[in-house]
Amino acid sequence: MSTLDEPQPSAFRSWLGVCVITASLFTFVTTELMPVGLLTPVSKSLNIAEGVAGLMVTLYGVSAGLGVPFIVAWTRRVNRRVLLSTLLAILAVGNLITGLAPNFPLILGTRLIMGFANGVFWAIGISMAMRLVPERQANKAAAVALSGISIATVLGIPLGTYLVSLTSWRTTFLIWSCLSAVVFAAVAMVVPSLPSENAVSVREVFNLPLKNPRLRLVTYAVVLYVLGHFGAYTFIRPYAEHHSSASAGFITVVLVVYGMGGMVGNFAAGYAVNRNLRATFIAACTGILASLLLLLTIGNTKAGLLITVVLWGLSFGAANLCQINLMLSAAPDTFEAAMSINTLGYNTSIALGALLGGLFVDGFGLKSAVWLGVALTAASLLVTLSTRRRTAQPTSEEAPAISDAEPITSS
């Protein structure tokens, strides 16, 4: 647990460190999801199907999810600054190899290794940010670090798509390799030494959902809506190109609009979760479901596509904030274990969603991936609606929502 006994750097340096960790999260998220906007040029360049190109997202998510409990346990004695620096070095080298790789199997193998680094970051990154500041500011530091997701969605992924239109998908990955190297240097210079103090055992991670029925039900709901979202969203570029004749420039606009919607939804949910966390999550999943149905009905026009992605971004941004709060409120005393479960479920769902979407696209066409998203998001809603209110709502003895909770400390 982060305590006031630890020597604290100056307030400026502490928050600068939090910003560096936010930049790290930005880099990891964009590296994971950037192929979403590059599927068409990658598939054409390497002469593979778009569904096969989607494996760039699938394998990355598989290793990010399944590897995290083991690697975190194996590195339990490693200084967290050293570990984060190592993860960013892997990211820099991996993006470099991806940009230069002569064939798709090498790209997939590289993405698999990079995914392991991504999963470990999610398990340690937020708690690192919280340890850099005084305890009373810990949850604020966590919120700032998590904003890297929205920044990545608004700027990183659309920027990657835009760079492809100016250069090539290979150059885009090379630029991201340089970005990873810059963030690596920033971590080395700014983040202070953080000895490992709260790594959890593999047994504890896997036993937590077995012993905690609330966490188990929340995990079911999260896995289902993430599967549905990424089953459809992974193929948003080819869908827009085929059904609304969207150009590369317009697709960049679509992704920016989606990201801005996600940022607004994130902030809006920050206010709503304190009034009713469960209802906010239900509203967010309903919005995702509605946006997918709109995509099928009015997504064949550019105006309809923009309307759809606005609602989609708002809803998914809100759902992301809700799901973190739901998991933390279900396991308030086991922060890092809960984050490991979150990483395991969320990233594995990204991978399986992209995989299932790819199978549907290759077998039944692009619209089938959207219908897959409709079915899985509806299932998530049913799971949430079927549970009692107390399953998702924190009690007076539990940690409240992260947006304005008392300081949540790593344990």
- pLDDT digit string (tens) for 326-355? 877 787 777 667 777 788 888 778 778 888
Q: Predicted confidence band at 402 (pLDDT cuts at 50, 70, 90)?
A: very low
Q: CB–CB of 7/174 below 8 Å? A: no
Q: What is the pLDDT of residue 127?
A: 77
pLDDT(7) > 60? no
The confidence score (pLDDT) of residue 6 equals 47
Task: Determine phi and psi for 4, rounding to 5 degrees.
Answer: -75, -10
Region at 365 (left for phi over 0; alpha for psi -120 to 50; beta for the rest): left
Give tens-digit pLDDT for 163-204.
877 888 899 899 999 999 999 999 999 999 888 765 567 777
Q: Phi and psi dihedrals of 216, rounded to 5?
A: -65, -45
When the pLDDT of each residue in the chain is averaged and rounded to a whole number, the result is 81
Which of 61-70, 106-115, 324-333, 384-393 has the least mean pLDDT? 384-393
Q: Is the alpha carbon torsion for 321, 326, 331, 333 positive or negative?
A: positive
Query: At CA 401, angle to CA 119 and CA 397, rounded to 5?
Result: 110
Dist CA 57 CA 39 (whole Å): 10
Q: What pLDDT, on the 0 to 100 scale, is given for residue 224?
A: 94
Q: Return the amino acid letter for 136.
A: R
Q: Which residues contact 6 (CB under 8 A, 6 or more apart)?
A: 131
What distance in Å separates the CA atoms of residue 217 and residue 219, rounded to the nearest whole number? 5
Which residue type is seen at 326? L
pTM: 0.72
Q: Tell me which range, 229-243, 285-299, 380-394, is most confidently predicted by mean pLDDT.
A: 285-299
**Segment 257-265 mean pLDDT:** 83
Q: What is the pLDDT of residue 371?
A: 93
pLDDT in the model for residue 258: 85
Residue 330 CA to chain centroid, in angstroms? 20
